[in-house]
Amino acid sequence: MKTHPLKLVTIIGEAVLADRLLREIRKLGAKGHTLTTVEGQGSRGVRASEWEGKNVKIETLVSEEVADAILHVLSEHYFANFAVVAYVHDVGVVRGEKYV
């Protein structure tokens, strides 16, 4: 089965950030997402105590370029001020050419 290589970008942050993060990724080229309510405890040192309870996990399938743009914006504009976690990995997507 031929799949299309894409990046799955995962962003985990406080639930209150969800709408803002979703607007951000859309603006940067994400065509869709899934959002999961999760519980979490942070690994960000001094922020750990602030970050227990409901968080959201946002996942989006994007091209490498869009993944780069999303991670860059998160790193520049979110990591200093919010307990955000972001990571990326390669996936093979059925009919993935529609996502780019």
Binding site for a second copy (CB under 8 A): 1, 3, 6, 8, 10, 12, 30-45, 48, 55, 57, 61, 67-69, 71-72, 74-75, 79, 85-96, 98-99
Smallest distance from a second copy to CB 34, Å: 4
Smallest distance from a second copy to CB 20, Å: 15
Which residues sit opposite 10 in a β-bridge?
A: 59, 87
Three-state DSSP at 45 gives: helix
Smallest distance from a second copy to CB 66, Å: 11
- Paired tokens of 54: 């409901």
Query: How deeply is 84 buried, as exposed, middle or buried, from its count of CB atoms within 10 A (0-12, 13-18, 19+)?
Result: buried
